[in-house]
Amino acid sequence: MYYLGSTPLRLNSSFEISGTVYPSNWLTVSTEADKTAIGIRWVNDPVRADDRFYWNGNTDTPKALEDVDAVDNEGNPIYVQVWNEDTEQMEDTTERLVTRGLKYTWILQVKDTAGKMLAQTDWMVTRKFERDIDIPADVVTKRAAIVTECTRLETAITAADMDAFIAVVQDQRWPE
């Protein structure tokens, strides 16, 4: 974005500097030297961290990789609640409430992806079991590759720290 001092200048909007009004197309048609000469500079937008892994695009606040037992503001454990029809209110159970971490969530996504990919040819497995009709070799190979990739991703995610986790998530190699 272009700035004049600390003031951002919007493209396709006119602006004024010391009594001179510049037309709305001036930033797009003028040279960089012209802009610099009157004190306008380009500032790149800050690179935002990936929201899949960090809170608010800030690398200082990574999301939790591991599951965490939930606690209230005073640090007391929070328990799963259920409706009690006799008292007509929610009541705590003995089960701790868990905030799921990225590893748990992404392993579910990996399993879901594998399941959806395998579902496309599940009918062939059923047909083989029920009527002994062979599954084409390319389908057998592809199904094995899907299972292998799912296992590879689950294993890598489980063992990963944040940097390795991001690398794994960005390097999924599902067969086509």
Q: Give the pLDDT confidence of 11-40 residue by residue, as tens digits.
A: 899 999 989 999 999 999 999 999 999 999
Instruction: Give the pLDDT band (50/70/90) at residue 124.
Output: very high
Is 60's pLDDT higher than 90? no
Note whether 107 and 73 are same-domain residues: no
Q: Which burial class, exposed, middle or buried, applies to 18 when counting CB atoms under 10 A from its CB (0-12, 13-18, 19+)? A: exposed
What pLDDT is recorded for position 59?
81
What pLDDT is recorded for position 48?
80
Strand partners, 42: 2
Residue 2 one-letter amino acid: Y
Note whether 94 and 111 are same-domain residues: no
Note whether 110 and 95 are same-domain residues: no
Is 45's pLDDT higher than 90? no
Give the span between the Cα atoms of 78 and 115, in whole angstroms: 33
Note whether 115 and 157 are same-domain residues: yes
What pLDDT is recorded for position 57?
77
For the segment 88-102, the average pLDDT, to the nearest whole number, is 96
| Through-space distance between the first and last CA atoms of the chain, rounded to whole angstroms | 40
- Measured CA angle at 39 (ends 37, 42), to 5 deg: 105
Note whether 110 and 166 are same-domain residues: yes
For the segment 118-145, the average pLDDT, to the nearest whole number, is 98
Is residue 67 within 8 Å of residue 101, measured between CB atoms? yes
Number of residues assigned to the chain? 176
Q: Kindly state whether residue 137 falls inside one of the protein's structural domains.
A: yes
Domain that holds residue 79: 67-99
DSSP line for 126-146: HHHHHH-PPPPHHHHHHHHHH
Is residue 43 within 8 Å of residue 1, measured between CB atoms? yes
The residue written with tokens 């939930």 in the block is 70
Mean pLDDT of the chain: 94
Dihedral sign computed on CA atoms, order 100, 104, 105, 108: negative
pTM recorded for the entire structure? 0.69
Give the span between the Cα atoms of 17 and 3, in whole angstroms: 12
Is residue 92 within 8 Å of residue 83, measured between CB atoms? no
Note whether 161 and 106 are same-domain residues: yes
